[in-house]
Amino acid sequence: MLPNWKSCRWAHVLHVISAEMPRSVTRQYLSPIGLFGAITMLTLMPASAACRGSYAHQDTIELASLIPETKARSKFSHVWGRENISLLSGEAPAGVTVVRVGFPRGSVNPGNPSYPSGGAGFLYRLKAGAERACLTYRVRFPQTFDFARGGKLPGLFGGQAPRGCTARDLSIGFSARLMWRTSGVGELYLYSPDRSARCGDSIQAGAWTFPVGRWVTVQQEIELSPNEEHGDAVRIWIDEALVMEQAGLRLRDNREVAIAGLLFSTFFGGADASWASPTDQFADFTGFTIKWSPQ
């Protein structure tokens, strides 16, 4: 029986083969004759279901309150970029909000006031700290979207959600946003106590590529170890295919830091002209939920 192609794309198959096999073996199995044999071997590697195990709670995050005209009660803090957010009608079932976030031409990281303001962001906090959490949302890039050098996408955070090239004392927590790079190449963009870069660390760049012209389901799971200092883990699924798993992380340096909620953050950048959106663009977002289990 061949693998389930709904949850295992061709590109991911070839990535697994080339990454996990010695070079001599890879040459053999990626030859025209050996490819089917390599694929058959993958039947021994069952697809991983998104967000393992059960969770005690689930939060559905309603985005309508980002638009003042809706007069919906906001559960968000540190909101910015409202001028770039609009509601779309007829894009989802009744009661589900779809927001369009604009990236004006020339816009970069909102922390640089010398450039146009693009993108949007906010924090959504769980009612209690979590040891395990799974974030799900859907994003859609237009068919003609120009990814340029790169930009940020939402992810989970802990503590005070460090970001913006903050000082290296990261005892205040962590942030685990996603990022797109040139041509839609994806990665985990991580601020953690062990961070080595001046800004966030680029984790497993190229592990997947964001499709354009359709809705894409993103799922991110974080598990904090109660005992091991470097026992934390982050997993990412794209359209239900496991594309990244990074274990052995240290996301906190004290047990008071827990998974705190959603860091919605999307913009082009980087903070200089080399990162700017080359034209007026947008991306659409919907379906935000967080499953979580408390400390």
The string of pLDDT tens digits covering residues 231-260 is: 999 999 999 999 999 999 999 988 889 999
> What tokens does 46 get?
């069952």
Alpha-carbon distances of 199 from 50, 115, 116, 271, rounded to whole Å: 29, 20, 21, 11
- The first and second tokens of residue 214, run together, are 């359709």
What count of other Cβ atoms lies within 10 Å of the Cβ of residue 25? 13
Q: φ and ψ at 211, to 5 degrees?
A: -70, 160
Residue 39: strand, helix, or coil: helix
| Pairing, β 259-268 against β 201-209 | unpaired
Tell me if 106 sits within 8 A of 276, measured CB to CB: yes
Q: What is the pLDDT of residues 116-161, one digit of tens each?
A: 999 999 999 999 999 999 999 999 999 999 999 999 999 999 998 8
Q: Is the preceding peptide bond at 270 cis, omega within 30 degrees of 0?
A: yes
Kindly list the distances between the CA atom of residue 40 and the CA atoms of 33, 43, 214, in Å, as whole numbers in the listed order: 13, 6, 30
**Single-letter code of the amino acid located at 123:** L
Cβ neighbourhood burial of 261 (10 Å; 0-12, 13-18, 19+): buried
pLDDT tens digits for 36-48?
333 333 333 345 6
Enumerate residues 6+ apart whose C-beta is below 8 A from 291.
Answer: 51, 55, 57, 58, 133, 134, 136
Task: For the full predicted model, state whether its pTM sits above 0.85.
Answer: no
**Burial environment of residue 60 by CB neighbours within 10 A (0 to 12, 13 to 18, 19 or more):** exposed
Domains and CATH numbers, the chain: 10-44 (no CATH), 57-294 (2.60.120.200)
Q: Of 197, 192, 194, 242, which Cα lies nearest the Cα of 220? A: 242
Mean of pLDDT values over 82-103: 88
Question: Is 70 exceeded by the pLDDT of residue 17?
Answer: no
* Closest C-alpha to 268, from 278, 260, 256: 278
Residue 283 and residue 247: Cα distance in Å, rounded?
A: 30
